[in-house]
Structure 1
Amino acid sequence: MKIRVVSSRDEILSLNPNEKIIHLAFRPSNKDIFLLVETCPKLEIVQLPNSYQRTISRSMQMFLEMQKIQLLEGDVWGHRKDINEYYTVPSSVMSKIRNMKLEGVPNDRIAEKMCKESKLNQKMIIHILNKKPLEL
Structure 2
Amino acid sequence: MKIRVVSKRKEIETLDEGERVIHLAFRPSNKDIFDLVKRCKNVEVIQIPSSYRKTVSKSIEMFLEMEGIRLIEGDVWGHRKDINEYYSISPSVNERIKELKSEGMADEEIARKIEREGKLNKDILLYILDKQ
Which band: TM-score by shorter chain?
A: over 0.9
> Deviation per CA, 1:73-116, whole angstroms, max 9, x where unpaired?
00000000001000001122221112111222111110010111
> Deviation per CA, 1:14-51, whole angstroms, max 9, x where unpaired?
10111000000000110000000000010000000001
Greater Cα offset, 81-90 or 118-127: 118-127
Partner of 1:113: 113
TM-score in terms of structure 1 length: 0.93
Segments ≥4 residues shifted beyond 4 Å: none
The percent of aligned pairs where both chains have the same amino acid is 56
Q: Which runs of 5+ in 1 are unaligned?
A: none
**Distance (whole Å) between structure 1 residues aligned to residue 49 and residue 20 of structure 2:** 18
Q: Which runs of 5+ in 2 are unaligned?
A: none
Partner of 2:97: 97
**Distance (whole Å) between structure 2 residues aligned to residue 98 and residue 9 of structure 1:** 37
Partner of 1:26: 26
Partner of 1:126: 126
Secondary structure of the residue that 1:123 maps to in structure 2?
helix
Displacement of 1:66: 0.7
Alignment of 1:1-136 (within 5 A): 1-132=1-132
